[in-house]
Amino acid sequence: MMKSGGIRVLVFNCGSSSLTFRVFEATSESDVRTVVSGKAHRVAVRGSEPSFLEFHVGDQAERIETPLESHQAAAGLVLEKLGSLGLRVDRIGHRWGHGGSLFRTAWVDKGLLSRLRTLVPMLPIHHPAMLRVILHCRRAWPRVPQFVTADGAFHATLPPRAYTYPLPKGILRRFGFRKYGFHGLSYQYVVRAAAAYLRIPLASSRMVACHLGTGGSSAAAVLNGESVDTSMGYTALPGLVMSTRSGDIDPMLATYLMGIYGENADGLIDLLNKKSGLLGLSRFSSDIRDIIPRLRDDPAAGLAFRMYVQRLKKYIGAYAAALGGIDALVFTDDIGLRNRLLRERVCRGMAWCGIELDAEANRRAAEDGISLLSPPGARVKVLAVPTEEELVICWEGLRLTGGGYAPADRS
């Protein structure tokens, strides 16, 4: 099997309204190539625009317009397409949103499935879809072993001073409240890619990375390649101002507002997660790309943008101070890669900790490759790095395979 080009790993990555997939062929962590890639768009979305599947094999690209009512329907279509190509797959890997403290990467077996079910409430929007895709793959391709990789696992190295919520011990024991963090796969990839690009040893580096997505966003302090702090918490609510999430708020505000709103926790969870952030501030859009053109004429748009920038600056400054200075600042994901104005504003006035931006390099930064944005000789290297969560899942799967064991109940 190894001689015929190595192990093939199919990776599924469930977004809230998309399903990204890749088939990798690997002989080792450093020798991984993509055989098939693609993305199902507008999954389980009702709207005027049609949903479609994007499917790339080698140089061939295909776009299939078809109703995609659910994530498992999209996954089913991907398996059918791969089957019709006659492409052998040895492993299927899935991103799992929030593994609690239970696992980093694990084979899917009955025991794991029951543990995954208990974790569904930790991410009520993403987890059910992820679970259904896993179950579908088990039914459709029962002979292919599957594994899941927990997205927050990269943050398992947080020290107690960063993850502890100073609440009564009985409460902590009963509920398991602590900071977990998110976007771990993305951070794991970008800090490694940044170190390789800069030719600095990851094992003795200090970095701040910002994963700025069209939905969720966070920042992380990474010391010697290990996460030591991050802006999200027990859930994905705290931290940066996001598209529809408030980010940091006074916890006492939550009880005050529940008082006003008749103690309805669900209503308020909804309000802070889906109607706050850029949407709540701007009053018209959760998308920073819609907000930027209106900065001059619309005070609400101006406030939304300024708050987004300031919150991010505060986290970068806080982590730079906590790390005793940094070697690199990394921007990633859609907003981090594409939004030049945002990067320019965030890096303005940050020379005190060595962060400077080269205006020209920032303007010309590529969206599909790594770009160095700081001027030559700058103390802190500022980079835009496209993230590759699927590749990290593949790496994790290779590590499992390398361990030489497979799920116990594989039929």
Partner 1 sequence: MRLLIDPDPPRLRWSKDAVETGGVPLGEASSISYRLHHGGERLREPATRVTPESLAAVRSVIRYRPEHNSLTYEAACRMLRLLPDVPQFFLCDTAFFSSLPEEASVYAVPSALRSRGVRRYGGNGLHHRWAWQRTRELCGQGVSRVISIRLGDRSDVAALRDGAPVDTTLGFSPVEGLLSRTGCGDIDASVVFELRTAGLSLSEINDLLSRRSGFRALVGPRCGFKELSAPSGGADRALAREMLLYGVVKCAGGFAALLGGADVVAIAAESPSASTRFVWELCRRLGALGLGCRRRMPLKDGAVLSDRGSAVKAVFLEADLWRSMAWQAAVAEKEG
Which residues, numbered 239-268, are part of the site for partner 1 (CB under 8 A)? 241, 246-260, 263, 265, 268
Q: Which of 168, 376, 377, 404 binds partner 1 (CB under 8 A)?
A: 168
Which residues, numbered 363-382, are part of the site for partner 1 (CB under 8 A)? none
Q: Answer for the pair 361, 344: CB distance below 8 angstroms, yes or no.
A: no
Q: Least CB distance from residue 172 to partner 1, whole Å?
A: 8
Q: Which is nearer to partner 1, 120 or 257 (CB)?
A: 257
Q: Least CB distance from residue 225 to partner 1, whole Å?
A: 20
Q: Are strands 328-332 and 206-212 parallel, antiparallel or unpaired?
A: parallel
Which residues, numbered 223-242, are part of the site for partner 1 (CB under 8 A)? 233-235, 237-238, 241
Q: Least CB distance from residue 209 to partner 1, whole Å?
A: 16
Q: Which of 3, 46, 143, 169 binds partner 1 (CB under 8 A)?
A: 169
Q: Which is nearer to partner 1, 39 or 98 (CB)?
A: 98
Question: Measured between alpha carbons, how far is 13 from 383 in angstroms, rounded to an integer?
Answer: 25
Which residues, numbered 15-34, are part of the site for partner 1 (CB under 8 A)? none
Residue 298 φ/ψ, nearest 5 degrees: -120, 110
**Residue span binding partner 1 (CB under 8 A) among the ranges 20-28, 187-195, 209-217, 279-287:** 279-287
Q: Answer for the pair 116, 96: CB distance below 8 angstroms, yes or no.
A: yes
| Strand blocks (E) in 137-271 | 146-150, 206-212, 217-223, 226-230
**Which DSSP symbol is given to 126?**
T
CA 287 to chain centroid: 17
* Token pair 């190295």 in the structure block, residue: 157
Q: Which is nearer to partner 1, 101 or 310 (CB)?
A: 310
Which residues, numbered 283-342, are part of the site for partner 1 (CB under 8 A)? 283, 300, 303-304, 306-307, 310-311, 313-325
**Burial class of residue 1 in the structure, from the number of CB atoms within 10 Å of its CB (0-12 exposed, 13-18 middle, 19+ buried):** exposed
Catalytic residue among 151, 229, 327, 334: 151
Paired residues of 148 in beta bridges: 94, 106
Report H helices in 261-387: 265-274, 277-282, 288-291, 299-322, 333-338, 340-347, 359-364
Q: Which is nearer to partner 1, 279 or 392 (CB)?
A: 279
Q: How many residues bind partner 1 (CB under 8 A)?
A: 73
Q: Least CB distance from residue 39 to partner 1, whole Å?
A: 30
Q: Which is nearer to partner 1, 7 or 316 (CB)?
A: 316
Q: Least CB distance from residue 160 to partner 1, whole Å?
A: 6
Does residue 220 touch partner 1 according to CB under 8 A? Answer: no
Paired residues of 149 in beta bridges: 95, 105
Mark whether 109 is an active-site residue: no
**Both tokens of residue 98?**
């929030």
Q: Which of 87, 102, 198, 353 binds partner 1 (CB under 8 A)?
A: 353
Q: Which is nearer to partner 1, 3 or 173 (CB)?
A: 173
Q: Strand 31-41's sheet: what is its strand order?
A: 60-65, 52-57, 31-41, 19-28, 7-14, 91-96, 146-150, 105-107
Q: Least CB distance from residue 328 to partner 1, whole Å?
A: 14
**Both tokens of residue 153?**
């696992």
Which amino acid does the sequence have at 319?
Y
Interface map 55-94 toward partner 1 (x if CB under 8 A): ----------------------------------------
As a whole number of angstroms, the longest Cα–Cα distance in the chain is: 66
| Closest of 183, 137, 139, 154 to residue 15, by C-alpha | 183
Does residue 386 touch partner 1 according to CB under 8 A? Answer: no
Question: Measured between alpha carbons, how far is 238 from 266 in angstroms, rounded to an integer?
Answer: 17
- Residues annotated as catalytic (active site), given as ranges: 151
